[in-house]
Amino acid sequence: MKAEHRKELETNVLADRMGRFISGARQGPSRSLIYWVLGALALLVAVFILYRWRIVRSEQAGLQWVLIEDGSPQYLDKLAKEAATQNSGRAAQFQMAWENLWVKGIKSLGAPKGFEVAMGNINEAEQTYRALAKTCKDDPVFYPEALYALAVITETRAVEDRDNLAKALEAYKEVQKAGKDSAFYHHAQQRIEALEDPDKNGELKRFYQDLQLYLKPPAAERPGLPGGAFHRGGDDKKGLSLPDLPDLSNVLNVPAPKVTTPPPVVEPEKKDGK
């Protein structure tokens, strides 16, 4: 009896579960199940979008660094404007500023009539480096580079005023404060040692003074132009007083032609009555 009763109970439980399953299938899935399925799908979509975004961003960043390596001015200018807050855009700005400072600036100081143009490019580079020093203040790589460039610009201006050497010394010390792990820390240390040494400092002052006389000679020492400043002899102080040119009329040493003078014609004396 007990076995038959237990079997009957098991049959009733199985039938009850089957009934519930069939009833649930007819009524459709529950709301909680639908929410779980939708949440899982949304999560998959979000993961796919994030993955694609990272892939596209990585490809764009790689292309930007390729353009920087190319170094074309139009590419650098485009990156500096479109990616100004990204490392690639900042690197483009550093590259353009370096071009203005060293190639179009310092290396062009001695070009004919190029001093003012070169100083203008150096001033433009200074503006860019000052802006980068503000935006990259927390960057351990870019910030020391910007400060070092500003110190170099200050020292370059010693060609016009030797007092800028003292200002440059303080600027190089600011580079060292920016970080000891930077390569510019050691470059700044070399300039500090040269500027703090009395003998080397004196040599630098004489160097920049001679360079100033070469690049920007006083007006009294510049050759003038014909018709006023450029003259020969006299006490005119507008230009150089040069000696008179030698007589070049017979530069080939050709002997002068002999001029034969015909003898004077003697008229016969007239007799009286004739």
Give dist(CA 186, CA 190) in Å, integer.
Answer: 6
pLDDT score recorded for residue 110:
84
Q: Which of 199, 201, 181 is nearest to 191 (CA)?
A: 201
Return the pLDDT at 165.
Answer: 95
Confidence of residue 12 (pLDDT cuts 50, 70, 90): low
pLDDT for 200: 94
- Where residue 97 falls among pLDDT bands split at 50, 70, 90? very high
Q: Measured between alpha carbons, how far is 63 from 92 in angstroms, rounded to an integer?
A: 13
Model confidence over 181-232: pLDDT tens digits?
889 999 999 999 999 999 999 999 999 999 898 887 654 444 444 444 444 4
Look at residue 151 and tell me whether its pLDDT is greater than 70. Answer: yes
Of the listed ranges 51-60, 131-140, 253-262, the one predicted with least confidence: 253-262
Write out the DSSP string of 5-45: HHHHHHHHHHHHHHHHHHHHHHH---HHHHHHHHHHHHHHH
Please report the pLDDT score of residue 175 as a whole number.
95
Separation of first and last alpha carbons in the chain: 207
Average pLDDT estimate for 126-149: 94
- Among 131-145, 236-250, 251-265, the minimum mean pLDDT is found in 236-250
**Per-chain mean pLDDT for the chain:** 77
Q: Supply the pLDDT for residue 24.
A: 58
52 pLDDT more than 50: yes
**Residue for token digits 């690639």?**
88
Give pTM, 2 decimals.
0.60
Specify the range with the lowest mean pLDDT, choosing from 145-149, 157-161, 221-225, 262-266: 221-225
